[in-house]
Amino acid sequence: MNRKVEIRNNLESVKERIAVAAQKAQRDLAEITLVVVTKTFEVGDLEILYELGEREFGENRDQEASKKAEQLPDDINWHFQGQIQSNKLKSICKWADFIHSVDQIKYAQIISDQCQTKPKSIFLQVSLDTPVESRGGVDPIKLENLASDISELPGVFIAGLMAVAPVDNEGDQAFKRVQMIHSNFKHRFAQAKFLSAGMSGDFETAVLYGATHLRIGSSILGNR
């Protein structure tokens, strides 16, 4: 089996699973965005995905992603989803259309400084770990205060929330929790309609709990 056939088959399988989950949740499939996580994969794989109609790619390393963005068509939406480093953020702002992992005001300030003329869409990363650990993410208790401060900055648009389910996500508790957090958050920040949650191992569950952006890599491209 050649690589294009492999990727196409995997992609079709994932999309069918998303469609089934959406139907089960009584959700409109059009409100769910598949972000193919392409980090560490060669440009050739991304070219295949592009030929197959995909336009949403997820990366977590600035140097790798910036090179890919230079080589591929301009109509791709690039999603940065790794942990942010202040010294890389200026460069990330040049290629990333969405930044999924903002969890501190200092990062939002840097984005604001770089994006005065063209606002950058960001997701605020919420920690679902107990206690809050070093994987990134703001404590849910502090989320609205952070969002309020960021809302004062020009050049930054809060598009939604992002979360990574803990390893011990028993009984889907993490997704239930982030759905509730997001629902409450939208009462105050109505523009934050997106929820970035769900990866290869749990995306169907994420769909059931309101995820709008699914970050899926290995189920489509295989193991790295």
Summary mean pLDDT of the chain? 95
The CATH number linked to 66 is 3.20.20.10
25 close to 214: Cβ distance less than 8 angstroms: no
Q: Which domain holds residue 114?
A: 3-221
What confidence tens digit (pLDDT) does each residue in 29-58 have?
999 999 999 999 999 999 999 999 999 999
Give, in order, the Cα–Cα distances in Å from 146 to each of 10, 80, 97, 121, 171: 39, 20, 21, 16, 29
**Confidence (pLDDT) at 134:** 62
Question: Is pLDDT above 90 for 167?
Answer: no
Q: Return d(Cα 124, Cα 163) in angstroms, integer.
A: 8
First to last CA, the chain: 18
Q: Return d(Cα 69, Cα 218) in angstroms, integer.
A: 21
**Confidence (pLDDT) at 132:** 64
150 close to 156: Cβ distance less than 8 angstroms: yes
Q: Return d(Cα 111, Cα 91) in angstroms, integer.
A: 10
What confidence tens digit (pLDDT) does each residue in 131-152 have?
666 668 999 999 999 999 999 9
**Confidence (pLDDT) at 6:** 97
Fill in the amino acid letter for 212.
T
Give, in order, the Cα–Cα distances in Å from 164 to each of 201, 203, 217: 11, 11, 14
What confidence tens digit (pLDDT) does each residue in 61-106 have?
999 999 999 999 999 999 999 999 999 999 999 999 999 999 999 9
How many domains does one find in the chain? 1
